[in-house]
Structure 1
Amino acid sequence: MPDNRGTRKVIYAAIVANLAIAAAKFVVAAITGSAAMAAEGVHSAVDTGNEALLLIGEKSANRPPDHAHPFGYGKAVYFWALIVALSVFSLGGGLTIYHGVHGLLHPEPLGDPLWNYVVLAIAFVFEGYSWNLSRLGLNKARKDGDNLWQTVRASKDASVFAVFIEDSAALLGLLVAAAGIALSQWTGNPLFDPAASVVIGLLLVGAAFTLARETGDLLVGESVGHEETGALRDIICADEAIGKVERVLTMQMGPDDILVTASVQFRRGMRIDEVEHAIERLENTVRAHNPAVRTLYFESAALRSSLR
C-alpha cells in the first residue's frame, strides 16, 4: 500500500488550523457584528468538516481489494473529494452569500474592528502554513516548467489538491474580508462589510466548481495523461517480444493506483513459455518505470495471435 503519511499531514494541519480559526472568527463576529467576519467563520467551519471528509476518503481508499471491489477502493478518495466540493458550494458558498445579502438588506453599524484585524492576521498565518504544506505536497509531482495551477490539473491526489484549492480560496477570502471591514471603517458605509461576505461566497462557489471538475474527471475514469500513456506505450513497444502495439489504455484507480491494458501482437512463432516470460518481463519493466501501475493486462486476442 502507498505511504499516505504526507497526505494525511496536510489534512491534519488544515483541520487544526481551520478549527481554531473558526472559533476565533465566530467570537469576534459576535463582538463586532461584522458580516464578513461571520462569513469567514462559516467558511472555516465548513473547511474543518471538509477535511474530516477527506480523511474518511483516505481511510476508505486504503482498504484492500475484495470480491465486491476486485480493483480496490482507490476511487473512494475521489468520491469524498466530490462530496467536499458539494459542501463548499452549498454550505460554504450558499450560506456565506445568504448572510451577505441579508447584511446588505439589513445593514448594521460595525463595532470596533480592531479584533477583526487581529483575528484575520492570525488566520492568514495559519491558513498560509496549511496552504504551504499542500503546495509542498503538490510539488512532489510537479514537472519542470509547470506552474501550480498546471500541477493541480495534473495531480491525481485529490486530498492534497482539495486542501490546496480550499486554502487558496481561504487566503483570498481573508484579504476580501479585511478590505470590506477597512472600507466600512474608512467610509462609514456599513454596506462594504456584507458586500465582502457576498464576494467571499462567490470565491467559494468558484473553488467548489474547480474542485468538482477535477475530482469528477478522476471519478469517471481519467487516464494518466497523454505523455505518460505514450511513455508506457514506448516501453512496451521496445520489448524484443513485441511485434506491434495496437493501443494502450490507462485509468487512474486512485492516487497511487493505475490500471493499464495493452493490445499487442507478439512476434510470430513464439512458444507459450516465451510469451509468459515476455509478459513477466514487461510487467517488471513497466512497474520499474512507474510503481503506481498495479494492474497490467494484455488483451487475449493478442496472445492468440502469437500461437498461430
Structure 2
Amino acid sequence: MATHGGTKAIIAALTANAGIAVTKFVAFALTGSSAMLAEGVHSVADSGNQLLLLLGGRRARRLPDEEHPFGYGRARYFYAFVVSIVLFTLGGLFALYEAWHKFSDPHPIDAWHWVPIAVLLAAIVMEGFSLRTAVRESNLVRGKQSWVGFIRTSRSPELPVVLLEDIGALLGLVFALFGVGMTLGTGDGRWDAIGSAAIGVLLVVIAVILAAETKSMLLGESATPRDVAAVRAALVGEGVESVIHLRTLHLGPDELLVAAKLAVPAAASAADVAEAIDAAEVRVRAALPITCVIYLEPDLRHTRV
C-alpha cells in the first residue's frame, strides 16, 4: 500500500487541483484565454493522476495468489507510469495544440480583465500549499539526499510523482500569469499563446522524466546501495563466513526480494548450516524496515589457482 506520507501528499494535491480546475475553467469561459484553458486541462490531468496513484495503492494491497505469488506491489509502479502518459497527452500535447490554435487566430482578452490574474494568484497559493505538504512528507524519508537524488533513487513512486507534478503546476501557473499579463498589457493575444506553449513544453518534459523513472521501476530495480550494503553486512555472522554473491529486487516499494549464495564452513554439519541460514534471515529482516522475501543458498567458497 502507499506510504502514509505519500497518501497524505496525494490527497493534498488532489484537493488543491480539483478546486483550481473549476476556477480556471470559469476564468476561461469569461475571458477566452488559451493559457487559462491549458491550465484548466492541466489541473484536470493532475487530479486524474492523483486518483490513479490512490487506485494503484489500493490495487497493490491485494494478497498474493497462484498467478502472482509475489503479490501485486508493482501495481503502484504501473499506475505511476500511466500518470506520465496522461500528463504527456492530456496535459502537454493539449497545451501545445491550444497554443498553436491561439497563435493561428490571436485575440486579446476583452472582458473580465481581473479574473485570470485573480484566479492564477489564488491557484499559486493553493499549489504552494500542496507542494509544501509534498516537501514536508518527502523530507521525512529523504534523509541527506539531494532532491534530484531522491527522485531518481526513491523506490516509492507517489512522493516523487506528486513533487514533480506540483513543481510543474507552479511553474505552469507562472507561465500562464506571464502570458495573460503580457496579453492584457499589450493587447496582443500571441503572448497568451506563448504562455500555453511554455506550459505544454514543461508538461512534456516532466512526463518524459516520470516515464523514464517509472519504466526503470517496472523493469525491476535493486535495493538502494545503502540497503544492499546493510543486507550484505547482516548476512555475515556466526556460521556464515562471507557472501559469495547477492541479488536484490524490489517486488514493490515496500517489499524486497533477497537472493544470496553464502559461504559456510566446510566442516559444518547440515544442522549447523540450517541454523546459520535461519539466523542470517533474522538479521536481514532486522536490518531493513521493509518486508523481505529471502532465499539463501549455502555453499563453499572455492579458491581458484
| 2:53 counterpart residue number | 54
| 1:102 counterpart residue number | 101
Q: How does 1:36-115 map to 2 (within 5 A)?
A: 36-111=35-110, 112-115=112-115
- Give secondary structure in 2 for the equivalent of 1:260: strand
* C-alpha separation in 1, matches of 2:166 and 2:239: 50
| 2:254 counterpart residue number | 256
- Give secondary structure in 2 for the equivalent of 1:283: helix
Deviation at 1:235, TM superposition (A): 2.2
Asked if the contact 1:141/1:151 (under 8 Å) is kept, the reply is no
* C-alpha separation in 2, matches of 1:8 and 1:228: 24
| 1:241 counterpart residue number | 239
Deviation at 1:153, TM superposition (A): 1.2
* C-alpha separation in 1, matches of 2:146 and 2:272: 46
Q: Which stretch shifts more, 280-289 or 215-224?
A: 280-289
| 1:277 counterpart residue number | 275
* C-alpha separation in 1, matches of 2:222 and 2:113: 50
Deviation at 1:264, TM superposition (A): 1.3
* C-alpha separation in 1, matches of 2:65 and 2:289: 22
Identity of aligned residues (%): 38
* C-alpha separation in 2, matches of 1:106 and 1:20: 30
| 2:125 counterpart residue number | 125
Q: Which stretch shifts more, 169-178 or 64-73?
A: 64-73
Deviation at 1:3, TM superposition (A): 7.1
- Give secondary structure in 2 for the equivalent of 1:297: strand
TM-score (norm 1): 0.93
| Cα 1:207–1:223 shift into 2, 3 Å | same
- Give secondary structure in 2 for the equivalent of 1:66: coil
1:34 aligns with 2:37: no
- Give secondary structure in 2 for the equivalent of 1:110: coil
1:171 aligns with 2:170: yes
Q: Structure 2: which 5+ residue stretches go unaligned?
A: none
TM-score (norm 2): 0.94
| 1:181 counterpart residue number | 180
Deviation at 1:136, TM superposition (A): 2.0
* C-alpha separation in 2, matches of 1:39 and 1:151: 29
Q: How does 1:182-197 map to 2 (within 5 A)?
A: 182-197=181-196
Q: Structure 1: which 5+ residue stretches go unaligned?
A: none
| 1:7 counterpart residue number | 6
* C-alpha separation in 2, matches of 1:244 and 1:35: 64
| Cα 1:293–1:266 shift into 2, 3 Å | farther
Deviation at 1:273, TM superposition (A): 2.1
1:291 aligns with 2:289: yes
Asked if the contact 1:101/1:195 (under 8 Å) is kept, the reply is no
Q: Deviations over 1:202-252 (max 9, x none)?
A: 110011011111111111001112332123212223x12112311111111
